[in-house]
Amino acid sequence: MATTIHHRTCNLCEAICGLEIEHDGSQILSIKGDKQDPFSRGHVCPKAVALKDIHEDPDRLRQPLKKVDGQWQSISWDQALDEVAEKLGAIQQAHGKDSVGVYLGNPNVHNTGSMLFSRHLLHALNTRNRFSATSVDQLPHHLIAHKLFGHQLKIPVPDIDHCDYFLVFGANPMASNGSIMTVPDVRHRLKAINQRGGKIVVIDPRRSETAEVASEHLFVRPGSDALLLSAMIHDLYASGKVATHRLHDHTDELEGLEAQFSPFSPEAVAEATGISALEIRRLVSEFTSAKNAVAYGRMGVSVHPFGTLSQYLIMLFNLLCGRLDEPGGLMFTRPAIDTLSVTGPGNFDRSRSRVRQLPAFSGEYPVATLAEEILTPGEGQIRALLTVAGNPVLSTPNGRQLDKALEQLDFMVCIDFYLNETSRHADIILPPVSPLEREHYDVIFHLLAVRNSSRYADALFEKPKDAKHDWEIFLALAERLSPARGLKQKFSHLGRRILTPKRTLDALLKRGPYKLSLKKLRAQPHGIDLGPLQPQLPEGLHHKDKRIHLNTEFFLSDLERLKTLLADTERHEQVLLIGRRHVRSNNSWLHNSQRLVKGKPRCTAQIHPRDAARMGVNEGQNVRITSRVGSLVVPAEVTDEIMPGVVSVPHGWGHQREGVQLSVAKEHAGVSVNDLTDEQAIDALSGNAALNALPVQLSAAS
């Protein structure tokens, strides 16, 4: 039997590993790392083979479904698209544009066609009630990039291949494979830091997989990072180590900064953070004396009560140490597609959500308020919802509230290929093709990569005759919803040809800084290396005056709230809930792959032996975790990996719900930690959800 090798990029996470897929035209025989990919160098994680599992999964939907009297029926694409457009149109006609809500989930960002075409559907719907996974994730990064550098996507990444001191706050790239830092083969890249005599320091309430390979790990009380960072900046000034010579050329707002940090001496924050004054001073001294140091923070500090302030202080610390735009520091990328030139710079607080008055960022409200917007009557109430590649019932705070809210909708449509916890509420499900049936170019993750590179792959399998891409579904709905807009005209600058992602990509590549094209990329199926990250200040800044706008007043206004945290001695005693990721999971949607879920059930509550002893709980026995919004019973995993007074439960589990059609065995179904997380707990500056550092009660479950 003749077999062929297909080269492509894995679209499952941000690491964009090159893959080598052996197949016989219809069957996949093996999936391996592509050793000739200059960026990922043959690295893959166990999830890569899940691409085969997803493709072959009998549970994966291949035909539109309609719920009729509580039963699912297969219907034709024409009927499905007509009915969806008709319903959404009628509801908007009767109740206004904002009566239809939209939620865009994470896999959209890993889907080329969706990235390039979702705006057509959004334009056609023209609703202000837009939400996405951004506000349970990286919203603080966008807000900071928008304000400081002039564009929401102008996000610098750690130049980890050239740094010799890597200070990590609340990120676990050894499990996540990196985030807002596209870094395939992170294990070897971290190892290389150690090998060149450098140091990795991890600040985390859990001794994570990354802490295990680091030179040093410091436990920090969840939610207290902004205190720690403020003390570090305090000490930077106190010890005369501020090194802003280059920064002065690019910004002018440094006066008066020092005084704002005076309440946060290392001594003052030691108890609240769990890190001694001596250690805080040592961190600063090591960081400032290293040749190439960089500080980086991710989910553990983005999605917590001081998410934006923490990320801002990490940025400020790097800036004050002269580490922005320096090799081995925090660097900007130069991708082959200038994504920034085709996306808006972003905007903040142009409108407020109806019920809780939360600020919009770039036209999206924080998803923490989605359920109330459905449940609260009045003008502008959401009566119909469209979700695209999202599972907000499992991924957003107070999922049970949302579960109830979705039941009450007049109409719901999901563009998704699984019948899961969210799509079970739909009236119609529109399933797109499998990831292997589409071409792939990473429009976003090359932009966030620790090295400039470019790689394109055509679809591995031709899509079945009666199947549609996400982007085709978007266009079909957009045309039906607003035929007058004359969609094709919008692209006349591309030559009046029929819109496709390939044509758009080709045009964008040709316009990009390396003048590539699809033809050139096809000729190099392993991808092209475009070199290490290069300094680009001030030309690379997007503000017209080519300066960094520190916006200290806006960001540091949150120091007032931080003082309250410092004074809140009661909080020091509370048990705090944090999340966890495992290398064989991907948010909520890979648990149908038997080879990924097999083994010991992973949806456990990690607790410290001291807390276990206090409750009389042994390994494997159940604990009850209770928050303001809910209560869960979870098997305990007793381990000194976790700090005393902290409990860690992974998200994305909880598949045993009526109507879910997934083949996850009962013992692996787990529970959803977002039945505990609180929609009222948000980062005050951005409205991002505070999923980490949530106060809970912990007890033995009978």
Query: Which residues in this chain contact ligand MGD in the complex, by CB under 6 A?
Result: 13-14, 105-107, 111, 133, 136-137, 169-173, 175-177, 179, 203-206, 208, 220, 222-223, 225, 298-301, 304, 388-392, 395, 415-418, 420, 432, 435, 470, 578-579, 581-583, 585-589, 651-652, 673-674, 677, 691-693
CA gap 183, 191 in Å, rounded: 13
Please say which residue, 184 or 346, places its beta carbon nearer to ligand SF4: 184
* CB 588, min distance to ligand SF4, A: 15
220 contact, one of ligand SF4, ligand MGD, Mo ion, none, CB 5-8 Å limit per kind:
ligand MGD
Closest CB to ligand MGD among residues 137, 427: 137
Backbone angles phi, psi at 453, to 5 degrees: -160, 170
By the rule CB under 6 A, 171 interacts with ligand SF4: no
Q: Which long-range contacts (CB under 8 A, 24 or more apart) does 560-566 make?
A: 561/306, 561/684, 562/226, 562/227, 562/230, 562/264, 562/306, 562/309, 563/263, 565/223, 565/224, 565/226, 565/227, 565/272, 565/305, 565/306, 566/227, 566/263, 566/264, 566/268, 566/269, 566/272
16 binds, among Mo ion, ligand MGD, ligand SF4, none (CB under 5 to 8 A by kind): ligand SF4
What DSSP letter does each residue of 261-326 carry, written as one string? TTT--HHHHHHHHT--HHHHHHHHHHHHHSSSEEEEE-HHHHSSTTHHHHHHHHHHHHHHTT-BTS
- Partner whose binding site includes residue 653, from ligand SF4, ligand MGD, Mo ion, none (CB under 5 to 8 Å by kind): none
Size of the site for Mo ion (CB under 5 A): 1
Residue 14 is a binding residue for Mo ion (CB under 5 A) = no
Q: How many CA atoms lie within 13 A of 680 on its CB side?
A: 5
Distance between CA atoms of residues 443 and 343, nearest Å: 11
**Out of 16, 247, 382, 632, which residue is the one contacting ligand SF4 (CB under 6 A)?**
16
Residues near ligand SF4 (CB under 6 A), total: 12
Give the E-state strand segments of 320-375 in sequence order. 330-331, 348-352, 359-361
Shortest Cβ distance from residue 467 to ligand SF4 (Å)?
Answer: 23
* 579 contact choice in ligand MGD, Mo ion, ligand SF4, none (CB below 5 to 8 Å, kind-dependent): ligand MGD
From residue 39 to residue 68, what is the string marking binding to ligand SF4 with x (rule CB under 6 A)?
-----xx-xx--------------------
**Who contacts 670 (Cβ-Cβ below 8 Å, separation ≥6)?**
601, 602, 603, 650, 653, 654, 655
Per CB under 6 A, the segment of 12-20, 262-270, 308-316, 405-413 that binds ligand SF4 is: 12-20
Among 7, 8, 13, 34, binds ligand SF4 (CB under 6 A): 13
Residue nearest to ligand MGD according to CB distances in the complex: 300
CA distance 124 to 102: 12
Sequence-separated (6 or more) residues with CB below 8 Å from residue 310: 140, 169, 225, 226, 229, 297, 301, 302, 304
Q: By CB under 5 A, is residue 137 in contact with Mo ion? A: yes
Q: Which is nearer to ligand SF4, 370 or 447 (CB)?
A: 447
Binding segment toward Mo ion, per CB under 5 A, in 134-142, 169-177, 188-196, 262-270: 134-142
Residue 479 touches which of Mo ion, ligand SF4, ligand MGD, none (Cβ within 5-8 Å per kind): none
Q: Which residues of 133-160 are buried (b: 16+ CB within 10 A; e: fewer)?
A: bbbbbbbbbbbbbbbbbbbbbbbbbbbb
- What's the per-residue H, E or C state across 223-261? CCHHHHHHHHHHHHHHCCCCCCHHHHCCCCCCCCHHHHC
Sequential DSSP letters for 433-469:
--GGGS-EE-TTGGGGBSEEEE-EE--SSPPPTT---
Is the Cβ of residue 293 or residue 691 nearer to ligand MGD in the bound state?
A: 691
Please identify, among the stretches 137-145, 418-426, 563-571, 632-640, the one whose residues bind Mo ion according to the rule CB under 5 A. 137-145
Longest Cα–Cα distance in the chain:
74
Q: Does 177 bind ligand SF4 (CB under 6 A)?
A: yes
Pick what 12 binds: ligand SF4, Mo ion, ligand MGD, none; C-beta below 5 to 8 Å, kind-dependent.
ligand SF4
User: Which of 32-40, 119-127, 131-139, 666-674 is the region at the interface with Mo ion (rule: CB under 5 A)?
Assistant: 131-139
CB of 531 to ligand SF4, least distance (A): 21
Residues that bind ligand SF4 (CB under 6 A): 10, 12-13, 15-17, 44-45, 47-48, 177, 184
Residues that bind Mo ion (CB under 5 A): 137
